[in-house]
Structure 1
Amino acid sequence: MVKKLLPDALWAETAPLFPSVAARPKGGRPWVEDRDALTGILFVLYTAIAWERLPFEVARCSRITCWRRLRVWRDAGLWDRIHRQMLERLNLAGEIDWPRASVASSSVAAKRGATRSARTRPTGANRVPSATSWSTARACLSPSS
Structure 2
Amino acid sequence: MGKRQSRPWIVSDELWSLIEPLLPEAGPKLVEGRPRVPDRQALCGILFVLHTGIQWEYLPQELGFGSGMTCWRRLAAWNEAGVWDQLHAVLLKQLRSKNKLDWSRAVIDSSHVRAARPGPKNGPSPVDRARPGSKHHVITDAQGIPLAVSLTGGHRNDVTQLLPLIDKSPPVAGLVGRPRRRPNALLADRGYDHDKYRRLLRARGIRPEIAQRGQPHGSGLGIFRWVVARTISWLHGSRRLRIRWERRDDIHEAFLGLATCLITHRHVRRLR
Answer whether TM exceeds 0.5 for this pair. Answer: yes
Deviation, 1:97, is 2.0
Aligned twin of 2:230: none
Aligned twin of 2:45: 40
Secondary structure of 1:70 counterpart? helix
Aligned twin of 2:268: none
| Cα root mean square deviation, aligned | 2.8
Match of 1:96, as an amino acid? L
> Aligned in 2, Cα 1:33/1:96: closer, same or farther, shift over 3 Å?
same
Contact 2:18 2:87 in 1 (8 A): no
Distance 1:44 1:100 in 2: 34
Report the identity percentage. Answer: 42
State how many pairs are aligned: 109
Q: Deviation per CA, 1:44-84: give whole Å up to 9, x if none.
A: 11122222222113343111100111111111111111111
Distance 1:59 1:88 in 2: 33
Aligned twin of 1:124: none
Aligned twin of 2:99: 94
Distance 2:9 2:42 in 1: 15
Distance 1:22 1:4 in 2: 25
Aligned twin of 1:73: 78
> Aligned in 2, Cα 1:38/1:4: closer, same or farther, shift over 3 Å?
closer
Unaligned runs of 5+ in 1: 110-116, 118-145
> Aligned in 2, Cα 1:52/1:81: closer, same or farther, shift over 3 Å?
same
Q: Does 1:29 align with 2:29?
A: no
Contact 2:19 2:87 in 1 (8 A): yes
> Aligned in 2, Cα 1:55/1:27: closer, same or farther, shift over 3 Å?
closer
Distance 1:32 1:88 in 2: 31
Contact 1:44 1:54 in 2 (8 A): yes
Contact 1:2 1:39 in 2 (8 A): no
Match of 1:97, as an amino acid? D
Distance 1:3 1:39 in 2: 9
Contact 2:49 2:55 in 1 (8 A): yes
Structure with greater strand share of residues: 2
TM-score (structure 1 length as normaliser): 0.61
Which structure's CA Rg is the greater one? Answer: 1
Where relative contact order (Cα < 8 A, 6+ residues apart) is larger, the structure is: 2
Aligned twin of 1:61: 66
TM-score (structure 2 length as normaliser): 0.35
Distance 1:73 1:41 in 2: 11
For residue 12 of structure 1, the aligned residue among 14, 17, 25 is 17
For residue 82 of structure 1, the aligned residue among 87, 98, 109 is 87
Contact 1:11 1:35 in 2 (8 A): yes
Aligned twin of 2:113: none
